[in-house]
A and B are shown apart, each in its own frame.
Chain A
Amino acid sequence: DAKTTQPNSMESNEEEPVHLPCNHSTISGTDYIHWYRQLPSQGPEYVIHGLTSNVNNRMASLAIAEDRKSSTLILHRATLRDAAVYYCILRGRTDKLIFGTGTRLQVFP
C-alpha cells in the first residue's frame, strides 16, 4: 500500500484559511487521494477526494500537484468545529482504506 506523510499537528486561528499538506511520492496512477477527518469521539468523516485535478466541495478544496506526489487540503475559513485529526489516504482499486497517522488540527478562537 502506498504511504502518505503528514505533519503531526498544525494550528490555526478561527476564520483563517488552513492548508494541510500531504506527501505521497509512491502514488500509483490509479490511486485516488482521499481525505477524511475524525472529530473527538466520532467515527471518521469523508471530506474530499480527487485523482488528478483540483476538487472543491462544500467542506474544503483539494489541490493536487501536477506530478501527484503531494496534495494539500484547504479549509477556506477554519471554525472551532474543524478541530479534528485529518487523514490523507491513497485508495487504489482495492477494498482497502489504510489510515496513516494524520495531522491533528487545533483551531483557536
Chain B
Amino acid sequence: DTEVTQTPKHLVMGMTNKKSLKCEQHMGHRAMYWYKQKAKKPPELMFVYSYEKLSINESVPSRFSPECPNSSLLNLHLHALQPEDSALYLCASSQANLVPYSGNTIYFGEGSWLTVV
C-alpha cells in the first residue's frame, strides 16, 4: 500500500472559521510533509515532521498550525485564514533520513482543495 489519504477533498470556509485538514499513511514512514500549491505554480513546502517532531517550518503564518498525533497521522489546523490562502494543500510522506539513505521517495496524496470566502 503506497497510499497517502487526505480528507476532505474539498473545503470551503469563512475567514472566522476553524477547520482542519487530515492526512493518513500506513507505509511506516516517519517523515510527513505539508505543501501548499497555488494554480499553475509548483508546490511550496510548508512543514516537515520527522519522527513526530516538527523539523522544518518554512516561515508559515501562525494561522496554519500543524500537528502530528502519531506516526500515521498528520493534521493541519486552520484558523482566521485569508482569501489568498485558497489553494491545494498536499500531504506527503517518506522514509525519514535517519534510516540508511537511498534517495527516499516521497509519496503524495491527492490534496485538499481549500477555498476561503
Contact = CB atoms under 8 A, between A and B. Distances in A.
Contacts of B109: 43
B31 A95 contact: yes
Interface residues of B, number: 26
A50 B42 CA distance: 22
Interface of A: 32, 34, 36, 42-46, 49-51, 85, 87, 91, 93-102
Query: Which among B90, B94, B106, B107 has the greatest number of chain A C-beta atoms within 10 A?
Result: B106
Contacts of A98: 45
A96 B103 contact: no
Contact of B43 (A46, A51, A99): A99
Given A42-B110, A45-B108, A49-B105, A97 B33 contact: yes
A90 B104 CA distance: 12
A100 B45 CA distance: 11
